[in-house]
């Protein structure tokens, strides 16, 4: 398998990453398969008692021990995801994106610690911090996602981790990850820097290369790409990998080989899918930006979006998820817009081949910043995921929705 430092393009690494010797073949054993088989096994047998006794002592990656520690199917996916993040040392797999976030946090936090979390974080991340972590004496403090190097003023002697998310999953502020990481390490070299990188993946934003210690993905989204698997991952550096791995094993975290196989299959086409999501979403975002019913579009690739300059510097592309703010209206009018759509499904998640639309209300999950921003007293938001349908068909569908919004407003 190519290492993350190999001089290959990211698109090539998506195809070659994780292709293990046991199924790619050798000179002595040619003709192996391109994709790995699905290794379904809870019990791994040993040839003798001596081998049985040595198994628990070694606890090495890529070594048969017991089904909970994986098999070549899971190992191949983990290695391919590590190759996706330049600077990555290892990847742990989780049964969902939320499990990946919580597993990463639990690996670096202890009672009495302080966690800094972006105010634009994924709602389940906030729920975990305000509920579970609080029960165990871990305090969470929220910060303005546009804070940049100013985060240093929030770091105290008990601060042990920062959880970033760029862009935010509802209002799409782009964080200055290098500035936050540099300022945090200057204030406390031992702080752990985590980022939810689901929107761009390591393919469009190399989070570890920008300074983060852990890059967290809800693989349910773009890695799988087909809306049929729940999966998460955390890719980290050599420094933090032992802690991450030990915590995951202690919690009994495991993913099924079938799900790992589907995710590995999806990963191979990530480059072409993301580029189509990007092109279609940008076309639709620009069209929406010109509509009178739309106050503004929250898409990092648009110059009007907060953090656009940072996006230009740190990202190599954009994905299919963004929001737009309606120009006036009511909850009923927003509902009419969404209910009129025929090509957009109404449902949570995103990252699959299908387009989705949901109403979102950022105000309920803000504490360090306010929503709506000053001067926007009635900022109703619709979040879209642009799938792989023809963007002109999606625009025509949205045009009907905007008519319904106007008639209801």
Residues marked as catalytic = 68, 122, 196, 221
Contacts of 358 (CB under 8 A, 6+ apart): 338, 346, 347, 348, 382, 383
Q: Which residue has the tokens 């042990």?
A: 160
Interhelix angle for 270-289 vs 391-408, to 10°?
40
- Distance from C-alpha of 115 to C-alpha of 32, rounded to nearest angstrom: 47
Contacts of 145 (CB under 8 A, 6+ apart): 118, 119, 120, 165, 166, 168, 173, 175, 307, 369
- Distance from C-alpha of 77 to C-alpha of 83, rounded to nearest angstrom: 10
Measuring CA to CA, how many Å separate 346 from each of 306, 309, 335?
27, 32, 11
Ramachandran sector of residue 352 (left: φ over 0; alpha: ψ -120 to 50; beta: rest): beta
6, containing H or E segment: none
- Distance from C-alpha of 27 to C-alpha of 139, rounded to nearest angstrom: 56
- Distance from C-alpha of 142 to C-alpha of 116, rounded to nearest angstrom: 6
- Distance from C-alpha of 11 to C-alpha of 249, rounded to nearest angstrom: 31
Contact 159, 401 (CB under 8 A): no
Q: Which two tokens stand for residue 284?
A: 């639709």
Upper half-sphere CA count for residue 106 (Cβ side, 13 Å):
18
Give the residues across from 381 on adjacent strands. Answer: 325, 360
């Amino acid at each position: 398998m190519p290492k993350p430092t190999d001089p290959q393009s990211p698109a090539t690494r998506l195809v070659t990453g994780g292709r293990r010797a046991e199924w790619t073949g050798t000179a002595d054993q040619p003709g192996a398969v391109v994709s790995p088989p699905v290794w379904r096994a809870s019990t791994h047998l040993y040839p003798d008692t001596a081998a049985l006794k040595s198994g628990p002592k070694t606890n090495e990656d890529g070594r048969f021990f017991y089904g909970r520690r994986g098999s070549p199917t899971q190992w191949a996916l983990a290695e391919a995801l590590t190759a996706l993040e330049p600077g990555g040392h290892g990847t742990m797999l989780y049964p969902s994106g939320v499990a990946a976030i919580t597993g990463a946090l639990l690996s670096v936090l202890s009672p009495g610690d302080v966690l800094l979390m972006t105010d634009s974080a994924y709602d389940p991340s906030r729920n975990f911090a305000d509920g579970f972590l609080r029960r165990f004496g871990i305090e969470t403090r929220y910060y303005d996602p546009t804070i940049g190097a100013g985060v240093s003023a929030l770091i105290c002697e008990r601060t042990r981790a920062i959880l970033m998310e760029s862009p935010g999953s509802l209002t799409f502020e782009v964080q200055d990850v290098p500035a936050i990481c540099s300022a945090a390490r200057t204030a406390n070299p031992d702080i752990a820097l985590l980022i939810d990188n689901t929107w761009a993946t390591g393919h469009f934003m190399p989070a570890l290369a920008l300074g983060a210690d852990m890059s967290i993905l809800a693989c349910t989204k773009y890695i799988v790409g087909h809306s049929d698997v729940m999966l998460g991952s955390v890719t980290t550096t050599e420094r933090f990998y032992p802690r991450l791995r030990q915590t995951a094993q202690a919690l009994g975290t495991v993913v099924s080989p079938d799900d790992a196989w589907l995710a590995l299959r999806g990963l191979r086409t990530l480059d072409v899918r993301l580029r189509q999501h990007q092109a279609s979403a940008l076309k639709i975002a620009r069209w929406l930006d010109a509509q009178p019913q739309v106050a503004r579009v929250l898409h990092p690739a648009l110059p009007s979006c907060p953090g656009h300059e940072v996006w230009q510097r740190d990202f190599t592309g954009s994905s299919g998820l963004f929001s737009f703010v309606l120009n006036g209206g009511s909850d009923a009018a927003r509902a009419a817009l969404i209910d009129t759509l025929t090509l957009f499904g109404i449902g949570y998640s995103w990252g699959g081949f299908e387009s989705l639309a949901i109403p979102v209300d950022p105000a309920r999950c803000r504490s360090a910043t306010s929503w709506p921003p000053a001067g926007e007293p009635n900022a109703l938001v619709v979040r879209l995921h642009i799938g792989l349908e023809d963007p002109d068909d999606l625009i025509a569908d949205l045009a009907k929705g905007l008519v319904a919004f106007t008639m209801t407003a």
